[in-house]
Copies of this chain bind each other. A is one copy, B any other.
């Protein structure tokens, strides 16, 4: 951010009075432009014992598999956002059930909310952002070709909980390790 989105003047980075961290502040109109984490919402869509996954037709992680998820939009609820992403990426209709995982991704300023959900019919198809969409039994999940650590971790938790027959809220924090941008450490919240 270089310019004020309200008046077009230059912004500078400084700590506003009464604040305790640097913000982008307009030199002319003094507007403070806060930047905050974004919410990713998605579904874990299930039909009987099978899970619906999408193969990404967009970057990042083109060609890898994920559950339907994306940026929550203004004016919607988190559950509506999860259902909308499932409609957009997999042309699928779901009944959104409880929140299942909350993962913090502080290195990219995101919070991931994944909801368990029930696929309402088998009339799904690849949306514009997907190469293909399919239903997978647990032993068919392409673990080595999942797009994101948060998805891999959520699905591992899901299958472990499914054995026990209940799905308490799970979550944690995914921390990028300094060695590599592709290396992560997972810190799970305790039960």
Q: Does A177 contact B (CB under 8 A)?
A: no
Most buried by B among A34, A98, A128: A98
When all copies of this chain in the complex are counted, the total is 2
Question: Residue on B with the closest CB to A36?
Answer: B38
Interface string of A72-107 (1 = CB under 8 A from B): 111111111000000010000000001100101011
Please indicate the chain B residues that have their CB under 8 angstroms from the CB of A11 in the complex.
5
Complex Cα distance A169/B169, Å?
7
Q: Does A111 contact B (CB under 8 A)?
A: yes
Please indicate the chain B residues that have their CB under 8 angstroms from the CB of A88 in the complex.
20
On chain A, the number of residues with a Cβ less than 8 Å from chain B's Cβ atoms is 44
> Looking at chain A's contact residues, is the secondary structure mostly helix, strand, loop, or mixed?
loop
| Contact in complex: B169, A37 (CB < 8 Å) | no
Q: Does A21 contact B (CB under 8 A)?
A: yes
Complex Cα distance A34/B113, Å?
19
| Contact in complex: A21, B73 (CB < 8 Å) | yes
8 Å CB interface, A139-191 against B: 169, 171, 173, 189
Q: Does A3 contact B (CB under 8 A)?
A: yes
What are 23 of the A-B contact pairs (CB < 8 Å)? A1-B5, A1-B6, A2-B6, A2-B7, A3-B5, A3-B8, A5-B33, A8-B8, A18-B128, A20-B88, A36-B73, A36-B74, A37-B74, A74-B106, A75-B106, A75-B107, A76-B106, A78-B104, A78-B111, A79-B104, A98-B169, A98-B189, A102-B113
